Amino acid sequence: MTELKNDLILRALRGETVERPPVWMMRQAGRYLPDYLKLKAKYDFFTRVQTPELATEITLQPIDQVGVDAAIIFSDILVIPQAMGIEVLMEEGKGPSLPAVIKTQRDIDALRIDGVEESLRYVTDALSLTKKELNGRVPLIGFAGAPWTILCYMVEGKGSKTWDKAKQFAYTEPVLAHQLLQKITTITINYLKAQAKAGADVVQVFDSWAGALSPADFKAYAQPYLIQIADALKDEVPVILFPKGTWYAIEDLSYSSASGIGIDWTITPQQARTFAGNRVTLQGNFDPSKLLAPIPEIKKAVREMIDAFGTQRYIANLGHGIMPNVPVDHAKAFVEAVKAYPGPS
């Protein structure tokens, strides 16, 4: 195995001393880089995801062009519903849609949870190829959606601001909801284990819509499944949990077997540290929209963010995914400011 030349993110996740905080950006692969947009014009979404050579090329773009300290494999969280036998369409400008929504016991019984090593082999192939192409430059992050967020898409059938149909399902059919969440959890654990075997050095679990739930409902429908995933993976690969919009859960999750917790920009670094203690590494939490500010403002805000988090047990990142309209120079300024800390770059 090629030795890593830059293992900052792994050391930060283990709580070891680092010279400076590592930096990467959620959704850094795809979305805003001009070279990605060229590939997007040529190949449809699932062709890009399912062709290891294309997925690898897209994964490497931000490493070569923006200088981040970790690669995240180009894929999507909705490959799990696909592997369970559900059709997923990705329409330009509309986002994902899943025409056959889950409603009944029969729908849940029909979902497949085994065979992920075969059905998602294109992801593990992309990870192995990317690992080879990276040649130890930076660690490679694998990922999956959290069970609650995947349930949201499977029940709602498309994106939503309120996720009221998904919540209605949970509140009116709690037994079915928990069966569905458990099935998603089981396949996700197998999937993340396969990713670790294929070369992922870290895995992140995206609970993008956890913040739609109240604290009590997060505890019922999201947290136990996040903890199950972290427990199942802990001996194979460090796990970062990112339950967006759930600052109140940081303390509980800091006692879990996760190595890192991703946080959004609605909490101060000091408050997050108070909840997390020194038990877990924090990742975040730059407002992605702030990358649209003038470059000197971005750099100043990055320095303030690191002043507040401190340089240890910390991974500099955004509080959610980078937006498609961010100029590449601004993304670079964010990364450069972290690398130059404590000085101006």
What are the residues binding ligand CP3 (CB under 6 A)?
27-31, 40, 45, 72, 74-78, 90, 95-96, 143, 159, 206, 208, 321
Nearest distance, CB of residue 113 and ligand CP3, angstroms: 20
Residue 77 or 140 with smaller CB distance to ligand CP3? 77
Give yes or no for a contact between 58 and 29, defined as CB atoms under 8 angstroms apart. yes
Task: Classify each residue of 48-72 as buried b or exposed e, where b means 16 or more C-beta atoms within 10 Å of its C-beta.
Answer: bbbbbebbbbbbbbbbebbebbbbb
Nearest distance, CB of residue 101 and ligand CP3, angstroms: 16
Residue 98 or 341 with smaller CB distance to ligand CP3? 98
Nearest distance, CB of residue 125 and ligand CP3, angstroms: 16
Residue 208 or 228 with smaller CB distance to ligand CP3? 208
Taking the C-alpha atoms of residue 288 and residue 250, their distance in angstroms, rounded to an integer, is: 21
Taking the C-alpha atoms of residue 299 and residue 305, their distance in angstroms, rounded to an integer, is: 10
Backbone angles phi, psi at 27, to 5 degrees: 60, 30
Give yes or no for a contact between 321 and 26, defined as CB atoms under 8 angstroms apart. yes
Taking the C-alpha atoms of residue 29 and residue 39, their distance in angstroms, rounded to an integer, is: 12
Q: In the structure encoding, which two tokens stand for residue 344, read together? A: 């101006």
Nearest distance, CB of residue 252 and ligand CP3, angstroms: 21
Backbone angles phi, psi at 158, to 5 degrees: -165, 180
Q: Dump strand ranges (E) for the chain.
A: 71-72, 89-91, 95-97, 140-145, 202-207, 239-243, 260-263, 281-286, 314-318
Give yes or no for a contact between 86 and 153, defined as CB atoms under 8 angstroms apart. no
Nearest distance, CB of residue 342 and ligand CP3, angstroms: 28
Residue 188 or 313 with smaller CB distance to ligand CP3? 188
Residue 96 or 224 with smaller CB distance to ligand CP3? 96
Taking the C-alpha atoms of residue 233 and residue 241, their distance in angstroms, rounded to an integer, is: 12
Nearest distance, CB of residue 27 and ligand CP3, angstroms: 4
- Other CB atoms closer than 10 Å to residue 114's CB: what's the count? 11
Pairing verdict, β 95-97 and 89-91: antiparallel
Residue 12 or 29 with smaller CB distance to ligand CP3? 29
Nearest distance, CB of residue 91 and ligand CP3, angstroms: 9
Nearest distance, CB of residue 145 and ligand CP3, angstroms: 6
Residue 136 or 321 with smaller CB distance to ligand CP3? 321
Residue 15 or 159 with smaller CB distance to ligand CP3? 159
3 state DSSP class of 125: helix
Nearest distance, CB of residue 67 and ligand CP3, angstroms: 15
Residue 146 or 253 with smaller CB distance to ligand CP3? 146
Taking the C-alpha atoms of residue 180 and residue 173, their distance in angstroms, rounded to an integer, is: 11
